[in-house]
Structures are given as structure tokens and as C-alpha cells.
Amino acid sequence: MRKIGICLTILVCLILLNPFQPQLRAKMSVFSPQDMIRISDYIVVGEIKKDVTTKIRNTDITAIHKEVTILIKSVLKGEMARKEVVLKRDFRTNIMHTGGIDYNFPKKGTKVMILLRNYESSGISLTSVNSICVIKKGKVQLYDGLGFGNNEPNDYEKVYQSFYDIRKREIYGETYKPLSMNPEYIIVIKKQTPNKVLVSKVLRGEQANQIVNDINKSHKLIVTKSCDPSNDSFDVVVHYNKKELKDRTFTAFNCLGTIDQARGIMIYPGISFIKFDTLFKH
């Protein structure tokens, strides 16, 4: 029993002393599919050009250095002038890793869609888990995807597919199709992170049409840095009494931009968060 206790103590010390631990905990934050799209600074489509793994040995550490080069074909979100991006990551082999993003990429020549963030400390890297997708015949498939909470891998694929399809059409000139006026009603739901409903209100008539106008003016994909996903939000459900018009759901945050849940993208400038905040104070 004493030996077991000593072993456990050593194991805990190794984990706590891991210099990469803060970075791993940060990058293992769990985000919904919609949040993954929203918090990514760049989303690119490209091809795996190079995937190199090398071993680093010295008197202090033993590590594996991963360096993946992606040839960029198109940029779906963000402004990136470079023709390729190089993702780098070091893994200590003499210390147990308890989390972090897996840097396993598909083979050279594979067409991919990659979600990226520009971290202050480490530069451009994968947004989080479920940031690597393979594209085959126009279909977006997660590469080594994982499920979290109520979201299974196919939930991420559905949102990513919608985003990919819409951005392709927008890039090649398809115009935005506005919402129809005069919905039967609009439900506005005030929520608190992660998914707690605080209060809701039903809007009709002129109030509902004003919301529709705000949405229809916001057909441009936002390319600036997104706000923190921990902020409170408002879900906006637009309902029609006509069978040919499906319900649409949007999410407004305390920053510029509103998520179109059906399309999986953030539109700009979006619905006024202040307007909703005022609405619930009366």
C-alpha cells in the first residue's frame, strides 16, 4: 500500500509540474458547434502539404515536435493573405498528458477545412477539439471527431456543413435570401451561459417586423474577432403560420454580430443586444 501511495504522489507531482498544463487546460475548453464557428478567427479550406514529426532530446526534456503545413485554397472566415499556414506543436514524452488538442492530421494531399484561432501566446493554432475536417465530394466530415455533452460528432458536422455550403455560395455570388415580413410571432428568450433560460417574451405586429428588418439588414459574415462565448445571450425564434415558411432561430450576444443558427454563421451588424436588454427591463 505504501508503494502505491508513493506512486500516486509522484504521478500527481508530474502532472502539476507539466509546463504545458495551463495551455492544455485552456485548449480543452468545450464549445458547441455554433460557438466553434463563432470564436474561430479563421476558417480555411486547403490541402495538407506537409506533416513532419521530429524528436527533440537534450539533458532536460524529451519531446516530439509536430509541424503541419496547410496550403490555403480559400478563406471562409477572417482575413488571411498568406498562401499557406504552418501549425506547430511540441509534446513532452516524459510527462503524462491529461488533455489538449490532438494534432493528428489526415495524410498529405487531403482536402480539409480547418478552424483556427490567433492565440496571443502561441500564434495561430487549432481553435479547439473538432477543428479538423476532411472534405470529400463537397461533404464535410470531422477527422477524429469527439462528442461533448448533448453534441455528438454529427451535430458538429451538420453545422460545419451548413457553414461551408453557405460561404461557398456567398463567395461565388449568391445573394442573401431575406426573412418574410409579418411573422405570426417572435419569441425572445434571455439565456445565461451555459444554457439557462432566465425569462422570455413574445413579440407580435410592428415589434416583430422591426426584428425581421434588423435581421434582413445583417447579411454580411462578420470577420472581426468575436466576443467571449461566456457572455449572456438572447435566442430569437421567428415563427410563421404558413407551412412553406419554416421557423428560424437566431442568437444575439453582447457584441456586434448575430448567429443565424440555420446557416451556422454570424451575420453583421446583427440584432441590437441593447434593444433586447431594454425590452426585458420594462
Task: Indicate if 48 and 121 belong to the same structural domain.
Answer: yes
The CATH number for 88's domain is: 2.40.50.120
What distance in Å separates the CA atoms of residue 245 and residue 269, rounded to the nearest whole number? 24
Residue 17 lies in a domain: no
**pLDDT by residue (tens digit) across 161-195?**
989 988 887 776 555 568 899 999 999 999 887 67
Residue 87 lies in a domain: yes
Tell me phi and psi for residue 189, to 5 degrees.
Answer: -115, 120
| pLDDT of 248 strictly over 80 | yes
Residue 179 lies in a domain: no
Mean pLDDT over 142-158 rounds to 88
* β partners of residue 249: 237
Task: Indicate if 165 and 35 belong to the same structural domain.
Answer: yes
Task: Indicate if 86 and 206 belong to the same structural domain.
Answer: no
Residue 134 lies in a domain: yes
In contact, 63 and 117? CB cutoff 8 Å: no
Per DSSP, 28 falls in state T
Sorted by sequence, the CB contacts under 8 Å of residue 190 that are 6+ apart come out as: 197, 198, 199, 200, 232, 233, 234, 276, 280
Task: Indicate if 70 and 158 belong to the same structural domain.
Answer: yes
DSSP E strand boundaries for 62-195: 62-77, 84-92, 111-119, 123-126, 132-136, 139-142, 185-192
Task: Output the nine-digit C-alpha cell for 281.
Answer: 427591463
Residue 7 lies in a domain: no
The residue type found at 1 is M
In contact, 170 and 163? CB cutoff 8 Å: no
Q: Pick the last residue of a domain from 171, 201, 224.
A: 171
Residue 14 lies in a domain: no
Task: Indicate if 157 and 58 belong to the same structural domain.
Answer: yes
Task: Indicate if 166 and 35 belong to the same structural domain.
Answer: yes
pTM: 0.54
**pLDDT by residue (tens digit) across 190-229?**
988 767 888 999 999 999 999 999 888 876 654 444 455 5
Which has more pLDDT, 1 or 41? 41
Q: Pick the last residue of a domain from 105, 136, 171.
A: 171
- What total number of domains does the chain contain? 2
Task: Indicate if 64 and 153 belong to the same structural domain.
Answer: yes
Sorted by sequence, the CB contacts under 8 Å of residue 263 that are 6+ apart come out as: 162, 163, 166
SS3 of residue 15 by DSSP:
helix
Task: Indicate if 133 and 79 belong to the same structural domain.
Answer: yes
In contact, 51 and 108? CB cutoff 8 Å: yes
Residue 58: domain span: 29-171
Residue 43 lies in a domain: yes
Task: Indicate if 67 and 197 belong to the same structural domain.
Answer: no
Task: Indicate if 146 and 249 belong to the same structural domain.
Answer: no
Q: Pick the last residue of a domain from 127, 148, 171.
A: 171
Burial (Cβ within 10 Å: 0-12, 13-18, ≥19) of residue 76:
buried
Residue 1 lies in a domain: no
Which bin fits 31, alpha (ψ -120 to 50), beta or left (φ > 0)? beta
What distance in Å separates the CA atoms of residue 86 and residue 12, rounded to the nearest whole number? 34
Task: Output the nine-digit C-alpha cell for 50.
Answer: 506537409
**Least confident interval from 34-38, 119-123, 239-243:** 119-123
The residue type found at 239 is H
Identify the band that residue 53 occupies on the pLDDT scale cut at 50, 70 and 90: confident
**pLDDT by residue (tens digit) across 69-122?**
999 999 999 988 889 999 987 776 665 554 567 778 999 999 999 999 998 888
Task: Indicate if 93 and 216 belong to the same structural domain.
Answer: no
In contact, 257 and 244? CB cutoff 8 Å: no
DSSP helix, strand, coil percent of the chain (3-state; round to 5)? 25, 35, 40
Task: Indicate if 261 and 166 belong to the same structural domain.
Answer: no
